[in-house]
Amino acid sequence: MFASTVLATLAALDARPRPADAAGGPLYGVDIANYQHPNGAPINWRLVKASGNAFAFIKATEGPISCGGSYFTNNWFARDWDDAGAVGLYRGAYHFARPMRPVTTTAIDQARYFVRMTGPMQGPRDLPAVLDLEVTCGLSPPELATWVRTWLEEVTRLTGRRPIIYTGPNFWATAMAGNSTFGAYPLWLARWGTSSPNPLPKSWNTWTFWQTGVDSVAGIVGTVDVNQFNGDLKRLAALSDFVRPFPTSPTGHVEYAKASGRDEAVVKGWAADYDTGDPVKLQVSIDGVLQPDATADEWRPDLTDQLWLWGPFHGFTLTFDGLAPGRHHVCVVARNIGPGADTHFGCHFFDMPTGPPIGNLEYLAFEPGGFHLRGWTLDPDTAASLLTVVTVDGIGAVATQADVHRPDVGAFFPDWGPSHGFDILVPTPPPGPHTLCVYIGNVGPGADIVLGCWPVIAPQPNPIGGVIEASVGSASVSLAGWALDPDSSASLDIAITVDGKLVGIFPTDVDIPVIGVFFRGWGSVHGFRVTINNLTPGNHRICAIAKNLGAGTDTTLACAPLSSGAFRPA
């Protein structure tokens, strides 16, 4: 802490042996940092206590170093803290403050960093935290006072006790401008080479600890700061009392419980016990049946602000499978660690999928051979494929299982799998208007459903098409057009007659892309281009006839007179 060569020399000249604790007598103690471990030398805390010391303060943290660098943590702190406690010394931890701007933010950050390193300091002989106040880092007295108060209040909130302020009389008079508003906090005064700590800085009319100088103490290599307590063991023990700032029992809650698949449910939440940073064990039951214990150790960065001291690994996501359709309830109990009792997070109800089938008709169009229907359907109660029936005007036309592989459905309903599609061709009904309905068979709770009914018009079975281009030469005629048969996607034959006599049969083997756009399912190779040569002079009548496939009859696409170089489709 405070360093002064002159004072250290005076203290060394005036070094006195520390008497053993006596009822009602003065109590002595040391305060140490990493400097008391030269070349890694450990401290023999049994000898420290045997030499008449009742307490020890141990530096835990400092920083940011140089008023803007990195935080410093005494790498000997944890060992010295444990060892001092093990031999029965009262122990305290201190933070060497580096007050900075922004005032409030840096004060809270340093307070939290300190307590994160020390823990809440709530053991039976743990003393209040200490703010070691020696530098200003450029803050004005009003800014410094705000910084100090903010740090003290945050540590009070985190540990349940008002911290101790360590300072020197000159520093308080100048850097704090003799502030008189901190008397509620115990004073640890650094005043060396005097027979009394008085006069005290403003704010205090009494002192709690007095750092008198440096001395040699058995068990510690080199010299060490020595201190006196203003009271006896009973008062020192009272100083270690605290009001617990956080609940002793676990805290947290179940955020949701819901179905996550056909027979699977998920329960999500968080749980922490403020007595420890260790994960909390969970007792979980489904519908009153105990499940294997779980652990709340999932990473939850969203809880960082709330659980900054205990870390973010306190979430849980629990999954349960094999659950029957219908309503269920899950109950979660957080197992207590240390003081307190188990915490019941309550019972939460959720519903597993059940009821009638669901699905969708995605495609309905007339294609070669009939009406083509595509879609999907599934029943919440089963992963099996469902019976799918299509009726035409109320009469069953096609019955099949909806078991077509549909990866997109499987991705959206992973517990049901992908085998829930249907791809149905309903044979062409008689020409004219009709109603197509899709029925889905239910499994388990619920009833069969009508996925939907749609009006359709069945075309005549005869070929359709036309002549779209004609040109006449001196003894020839050329025709171009298209034709297709509603019953088939196969290419048709076109018969050409002149004056009622067949002059040739020609295939529709020309690709016309627009035909494929307008007649999906038939493709685009339904065009023809025909040239008839060696026509005799005079008037003729030429006809193009599409030959029928399946039901129906041939269709005359065009029939027109041919005269004087003119061809006009009938």
Active site residues: 31, 132, 134
C-alpha to C-alpha distance for 286 and 321, rounded to whole angstroms: 11
Cα 170–Cα 171–Cα 175 angle in degrees, nearest 5: 125
C-alpha to C-alpha distance for 237 and 460, rounded to whole angstroms: 104
How far does Cα 160 stand from its chain's mean position? 33
For residues 114 and 97, the answer to whether their CB atoms sit within 8 Å is no
C-alpha to C-alpha distance for 320 and 337, rounded to whole angstroms: 26
Tallying the residues shown for the chain, one arrives at 570
For residues 359 and 376, the answer to whether their CB atoms sit within 8 Å is yes
Q: Exposed/middle/buried for 446, CB within 10 Å: 0-12, 13-18, 19+? A: middle
User: How many CA atoms lie within 13 Å of 69's alpha carbon, on the beta-carbon side?
Assistant: 8
Q: Who contacts 537 (Cβ-Cβ below 8 Å, separation ≥6)?
A: 475
Reduced to 3 states (helix: H, G, I; strand: E, B; else coil), residue 319 is strand
Name the DSSP class of 157. Answer: H
C-alpha to C-alpha distance for 180 and 332, rounded to whole angstroms: 51
In the numeric block, which tokens belong to residue 421? Answer: 């599609």
Taking residue 336's Cβ as centre, other Cβ atoms within 10 Å add up to 17
Cis peptide before 64 (omega within 30 of 0): yes
- DSSP string covering 246-275, please? S-SS-EEEEEEEEE-SSS-EEEEEEEE-TT
Cα 361–Cα 362–Cα 367 angle in degrees, nearest 5: 100
The 3 state secondary structure assigned to 304-317 is CCCCCCCCCEEEEE
For residues 118 and 93, the answer to whether their CB atoms sit within 8 Å is yes
Q: E strand or H helix at 45, and its extent?
A: helix 45-50
C-alpha to C-alpha distance for 103 and 149, rounded to whole angstroms: 10
Q: Exposed/middle/buried for 167, CB within 10 Å: 0-12, 13-18, 19+? A: buried
Phi-psi region at 160: left, alpha or beta (left = phi > 0; alpha = psi -120 to 50)? left
